[in-house]
Chains A and B, each alone.
Chain A
Amino acid sequence: MKRCRRWIQLIHLYRSGEIGDADRTRLERHLMNCPRCTRLLDSMAELEQRVAPLRRSRPTPPDPEQLTQNIIERIVRPGVREPAAVSLLSWLSRPRIRLALCSAIILIPGFYIVQEWGTLRRVQQLERRLADLPEKPREISLPGIRSLTAEAIVSRGNLSSPARIRTLVDVAEKLSRLARIRTQGDLAGRLRTLIRIRGPEGRPELFRMMNDF
C-alpha cells in the first residue's frame, strides 16, 4: 500500500479533465499490476454511480415567486444603495484602495517623524556645541559664528516649516547673544526678517549676508 500512496490521489480524481493525459497513462499502467488500487478505483466508480443521480436532481425553491418578491422588497428598502451610484464608501472599501490608504497613513507621517527626529538630533548637537563655547563671548571668532550659523541653516534643511524657522531663529539669537553683535543691527532680527519676507528663497541670500558680514 505504501508504494501505492502516490496513485491514490489520482484515483480519486477520476472524472474527465481532472488529471493530465500523462498521469492517466501512468495510472492505467499501474492499475494493470495492482489489484488493491483496482479495487479502490471500483469503489470510486460506485461512488460516482451514487452521486450521479444527486447531480441530475436539482433542488428548487419551494415558492419561487415569493422568493423573488422577498428579494425585490429587500432591494427597495431605504438604505440599500442604488446600483448605478459608486459611493465613496464602497470605493474606499476595495482591498487595493484600503491597502494604499493604510500604507499612506503609515508612511507619510512616518517619513516626517523620521525627518524631524534627524533634524532635532542635529539641532541638539549644535546646541551642545554652543553650550561648550568659551564663557567670554568676545573671544569667539567671526569665522566661528559664520560656520555655526551656516551649519544651523544647513541642519534646518529647507525653510518651509514654521517650526524649523523658529528653531533657526533661536539658534541665531543664541549666536548673536554669545557674539554680542551690535554692528549692522541684530543678527537674529535680520535673520528673522529675511526668513519672514523671503521664505525658503531667502536661504542663498542668508549665506551671502553671512559672507559679507
Chain B
Amino acid sequence: MSDLDLDFDPDELAMLRQLFRTEAQDALETVTTRVLAGGSAKPTPDALTEMMRVTHTLKGAAGTVGLNTMVDLSHRLESALAAFGREPSPWTPATADLLVEVTDALRGYLDVATSPAGEPAAEPAADKIRDQIDQIARPHRRPMSLPPPFVEPLPEPVIEPTLDGAPIPEAKAWLRVEPERIDELMSSAGELLFDRTRIERRVQLLRTVARDLARTRQNLHDALDTPNVPSRAALGEAESELAGQAALLSQTTAALLDEIEALRRTIGELQKSLTRIRMGPARDLMTHAARTLRALRRATGVHVELRTIGEDTEFDKAVAEQLVDPITQLLRNAVAHGVEPPEERAAKGKPATATVTIRARQDGNLLVLEVSDDGRGIDTAALRERLVSTGQWSATRAELANDAEILDALLGSGVSVRGDADELAGRGIGIGIVRQTVSKLGGEVKVSSSPGRGTTFSLRLPLSTALAQAMLFKVGGQVYAIPNVHVIDTTLVDSAATTATVRHEQLPVLRLEALLGQGTATDRRAGIVVSFAGKSLVCTVDKIIGPREIIIKPLGPLLAPLTLYAGATISGSGKVQLILDPAQLVRRAYPDAPDAAIDDAGSAPMVLAGRALVVDDSRAIREAMTSMLGREGWIVDVAEDGARALQMTRQLRYDLIITDLEMPELGGFDLIVHLRKDERFKNTPIVIITSRANPEHRRRARDLGVRALVAKPITRRKLLEALATR
C-alpha cells in the first residue's frame, strides 16, 4: 500500500493514528474557535495566521501517519484560508458558517479515516468536503439553498459523512489534559509508592519485634520452669533483651504513625490532583453552543446572537460532555419557542436580533449554568389551565400554586407532566430530557420566566462527580447496582441450586431475592458472578439490566451502619438505587471465612526466612535488595553505613547481613571484624556485595568467614546463589 507499512507494524500505526486523531481534533477546534470568536466579522490577521498555522501542522502530521487524502484536504483548507490573508477577499457570514461546517465535516472524516477501515472508507465524505472548501474560496459560486419551510425538526448541527456499508465506528471518549496536571499526579503517585514501602518496612519490623518478644518470653518461661532458680545473669540478659525490644517497639510505632500521617497527606494531594485532572473551562461547552446556535440560525432564519459569560469557570470535563445535549436542547427551545418574530419584537421595542445568554459560574461546590433568552417568556396562565384541563392537577391546587410551582411542573419534577401537556406552554418537548440528564448527574433544573422579557433555565450541578461503572439489576421490583469491577460474568442458575459451576469452578449461590425480599420465583434465574478479594460467588437476581455509568452518592450518617450497601445512585427519572457492597456479599456467601481474609486482599501469610540487615550507601541498592529479599520471605532492615549498622546490631539480632565494602564512616571489612567479635554474630551468615573484588578482598573475606562475595550489579539469581552457598 504505502512505504508506511514498512515503518510501523499495524498496531503501532493504529496507535499513531489515534494520537493523530486527538491532535487533529484539537487543531480543528482551534479553527472553529477562531471563526466563532469573530462572529460574522472577518477574523483578525493574527487569528487567520493562527488558523493557517494549525492547518499546516495538521497537513504535516497527516503525512507522517500516511493519511494522504487528509493531507490533500488540509492543504486545500490552508490555501483557502491563505486567500483571506492575502487580499481583501469578501468574508461573509456564510464564509464563517461554511468554515465551521468544513471543520465539523473534517472531524467526522477523521473518525472514519483513523479507524481500522482507513481512508478508503471515508472517501465519499472527502469529495463533499473538497466541494465545501472550494466554496469557501469562491463564495459567490455557492448554490442558493432555500431555508426549510418549518421551524421543526431542527437539523443536528453535526454533519456526519454518509458511507456506503461501512459502519461509523463509535468515537472513543478522549480526555484532554494539560501535561502539568499529569505531572502532579505522577509525582503524588510516586510518593505514594515510597510511603507504602516505608510503612511496609515498619510493619515488618513490628512483626519481628513481636516474634522476638515471644521468643524472649519463651526463654524466660523455660528458665523459670527449671528446678533451679535461674541465674541472675540469665535474668539480666533476658531483661536487657526485653528493654531493647521495647525501645524498638516504641520507636517503630512512633515512626509508623509519622509515616501514616505522611501517607494521609499524599493521598490528599493525589485526590486534589485527580480532581484537577478532570476539570476544564466552560469555554469548550460554550464554543459548542455557539456552533449549535449558528446551525440553528441558518436553519430557521431567526435573528439571534449568543452571549457567553464565565467561560473560565472550571468544572468536570465528564460533566461538560454530558451537558452538550441538554444545552443544545435548551438553545433549540429558545430559538424555536422563546424568541418572538421580528415584527412582534419591533412592536415591543426590543432589538431585532434576539440574544441568548449562557452564563457559567461556581456557587460553592456547585456549577450553575444558566441559559436565558430575551423572548416572550412562558405563559403561566395557559400552563395552569392546561394542568387542570388534562386532569393532572386539581383546580384548587392550580389556584393555590404560585408561578414558580407551575413552572416546576413544566420540568416534570414532583408531578408527572405528559409530553402533550408541556407542548402547550409554548415549549417544545425535550425539556424532560434536560431534567433527566441533569438529574442523572446529581443536579437539578430550575426555570424562571418573566412574561414578555424572557425565560431562564438554570442547571445546578456538582462541580465534580464520581462516575463509576456498575452492573444494574432488578430484584423484587427495585433496581440495584454492583460495582462493575467486581462483576466477572453473568450466568443462569437452577431454581434450588446452592452452588453453580462457572468456568469450571463450583461457586456458592447467594439468593438476592431472599436477602432483599419479595423476589419472584422462577425456574431458572439470572445470576451475576461477583468476585471480591479472591473469592467469587453467584448472586441470583430477577433480571439483569446491564452495565451503566453511575454516580455514587454517599448514604449519609444515618444509613452508614447498613453495611450491605456501599452507597446509592440516582436514576435518570430521579429514583434512588442502592449499591450493594461486594465485600458483604462475599461475607454472606462464605460465612466461615475470617474477616481479615476478605478485607485484606492479597496479603498471603508470609513464610519468614529471618531478619536481614542490608548495609550500603546507595539508596537504590538498599531499595532493590529490600524488595528482592522481601520476596524471599526476609524481613529487611537497612543501614547507610557500617557505623549505623553496628548501632543496629547492638539492639537486634540478625540472621543475615549483607554489606557493601566502601562506605563512609565505617567500611564493610571493619564492620565484619566488629561483628565477628560479638558472640551473637560469630557465625551469622555474611554476604559482601561489591563492584570490585580483587584476590586480596577474597582472601580477607574467607578469613572472616564471609559466606559469599557478590559482584555488583546484583541480580536476583546471583543473590539466591550466594544465599544457598554453605
Please indicate whether A and B come from the same complex rather than being unrelated chains. no
